[in-house]
């Protein structure tokens, strides 16, 4: 039996929900249809937000010949058939899902047809096309990002769905519709599927209890191999860097919910040294201790040491001075500004002055290569533990001037 979500797919751009930056009066995709002109394009964004719907709606509105293929599921022979059909009819629109997984053989087959216009491609992907799609394909396509659907868009879609003949006799109220919309996140297809399952599971009565019986867990986009997962990791680090403890714990919860402890560990280790650094040098060992404890106890208890350390990380003073200084030194080396090691600090030197033999364990002598003399990489911050480092730094700089 064909699922309700498929039956509810829009047949025209005017039926598409959301994507008001692309669809609607005066918007780019609507204008293309209005002017009966279609160019190769790639639609990218999260699952369930309308990529396939828009592609099909456009070809339906334009009444053009089209074929649908999946970059991984369909063989090279299937692609050969489409190419031959395109040549036979003087052109065809190829709607291709998972275009980021297109292999070289299929790319080589398609490129000449895209170049001469025999095939007009509408590619769809959840991945970032700037990173994942072959540049030769990408350069021949216009890229359009689809935005997440808002809750009001999902509710509008659900209100359409409950009028469908497949759901005849449904008993549902606004609270139940709102709950489905919240559970769906921005995934309209998930919302339709949940509604349909609840309709049959509840014997046509769809209420809060029925919905929770079918699905009590929140849904959000999580693709461990794609952008969604890395967006959450990015938000996790930026929230800690920004000292927002509540946001930090929220994104930690998202990652724990996925069960992806390894990504949490790696990112926390980076944050400890990239964002907190010398402002709280003790955080590095503490992070490693928390990781070891989390590994020892496993989930669900792992959340306890992780929550504790992430709270401390978010509320710790921050400094990036050490790694910024190192990056500046690396940049100088990449530019060729290296120079020779000064003679007096070479291994065989007899003129090296041993600092511990002098007052305050300091003696004035040059350590940088001659061409880099006076270069300053490190710029200390007067914050947290780094205040102590800055005091000593200022003392040393004063000694250099005397």
Taking only the tens place, the pLDDT of each residue in 93-142 is 999 999 988 888 888 888 989 988 899 999 999 888 887 788 888 888 99
**Mean pLDDT over the full length of the chain:** 90
Architecture of domain 151-214: Orthogonal Bundle (1.10)
- pLDDT over 90 (residue 150): no
- What's 4-145's CATH class? alpha beta
Of the candidates 256, 267, 254, which has an alpha carbon nearest to the alpha carbon of residue 302?
256
Tell whether omega for the bond before 78 is within 30 degrees of 0, i.e. cis: no
- Worst-scoring range by mean pLDDT, 120-124, 150-154, 219-223? 219-223
With beta carbons less than 8 A apart as the criterion, state whether 364 and 400 touch. Answer: yes
> 287 by DSSP, 3-state: which?
helix
pTM exceeds 0.75? no
Q: How many CA atoms lie within 13 A of 213 on its CB side?
A: 13
- Break the chain into its structural domains and give their ranges: 4-145, 151-214, 227-314, 321-401
Give dist(CA 342, CA 120) in Å, integer.
Answer: 64
Fold of 321-401: post-AAA+ oligomerization domain-like (1.10.3710)
> Looking at residues 152-165, what average pLDDT do you find?
94
| pLDDT single digits (tens) 347-376 | 989 999 999 999 989 999 999 998 888 889
Note the pLDDT of residue 32: 95
Note the pLDDT of residue 242: 94
Q: Which listed CATH number (3.20.20.80, 1.20.272.10, 3.30.2400.10, 3.40.50.970) goes with 227-314?
A: 1.20.272.10
What residues contact 320, with CB distance under 8 A and at least 6 apart? 274, 275, 277
Q: Is 251 exposed, middle or buried (0-12, 13-18, 19+ CB in 10 A)?
A: buried
């Amino acid at each position: 039996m064909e699922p309700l979500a498929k039956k509810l797919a829009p047949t025209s751009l005017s039926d598409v929900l959301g994507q008001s930056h692309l669809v609607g009066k005066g918007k780019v995709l609507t204008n293309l249809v209005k002017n009966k002109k279609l160019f190769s394009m790639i639609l990218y964004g999260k699952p369930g937000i309308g990529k396939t719907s828009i592609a099909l709606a456009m070809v339906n509105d334009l009444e053009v010949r089209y074929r649908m293929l999946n970059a991984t599921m369909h063989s090279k022979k299937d692609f050969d058939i489409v190419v031959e059909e395109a040549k036979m009819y003087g052109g065809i629109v190829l709607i291709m899902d998972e275009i980021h997984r297109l292999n070289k053989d299929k790319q080589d087959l398609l490129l000449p047809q895209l170049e001469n216009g025999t095939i007009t491609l509408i590619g769809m992907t959840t991945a970032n096309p700037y990173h994942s799609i072959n540049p030769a394909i990408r350069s021949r396509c216009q890229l359009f990002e689809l935005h997440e659907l808002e809750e009001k868009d999902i509710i509008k879609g659900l209100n359409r769905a409950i009028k469908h003949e497949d759901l005849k006799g449904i008993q549902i109220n606004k609270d139940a519709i709102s709950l489905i919309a919240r559970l769906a996140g921005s995934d309209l297809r998930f919302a339709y599927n949940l509604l349909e399952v609840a309709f049959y599971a509840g014997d046509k009565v769809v209420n809060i209890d029925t919905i929770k019986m079918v699905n009590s867990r929140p849904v959000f986009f999580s693709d461990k191999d794609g952008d969604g997962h890395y967006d959450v990791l990015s938000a996790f680090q930026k929230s800690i860097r920004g000292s927002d403890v509540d946001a930090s714990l929220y994104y930690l919860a998202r990652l724990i919910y996925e069960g992806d402890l390894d990504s949490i560990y790696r990112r926390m280790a980076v944050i400890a040294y990239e964002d907190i650094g010398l402002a709280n040098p003790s955080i590095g060992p503490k992070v490693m201790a928390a990781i070891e404890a989390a590994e020892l106890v496993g989930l669900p208890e792992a959340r306890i040491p992780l929550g504790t350390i992430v709270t401390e990380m978010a509320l710790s003073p921050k400094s990036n001075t050490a790694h910024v200084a190192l990056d500046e030194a690396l940049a100088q080396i990449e530019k060729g500004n290296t120079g020779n090691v000064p003679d007096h600090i070479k291994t065989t030197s007899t003129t090296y002055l041993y600092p511990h033999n002098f007052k305050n364990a300091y003696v004035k002598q040059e350590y940088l290569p001659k061409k880099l003399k006076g270069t300053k990489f490190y710029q200390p911050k007067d914050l947290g533990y780094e205040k102590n480092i800055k005091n000593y730094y200022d003392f040393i700089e004063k000694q250099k001037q005397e």
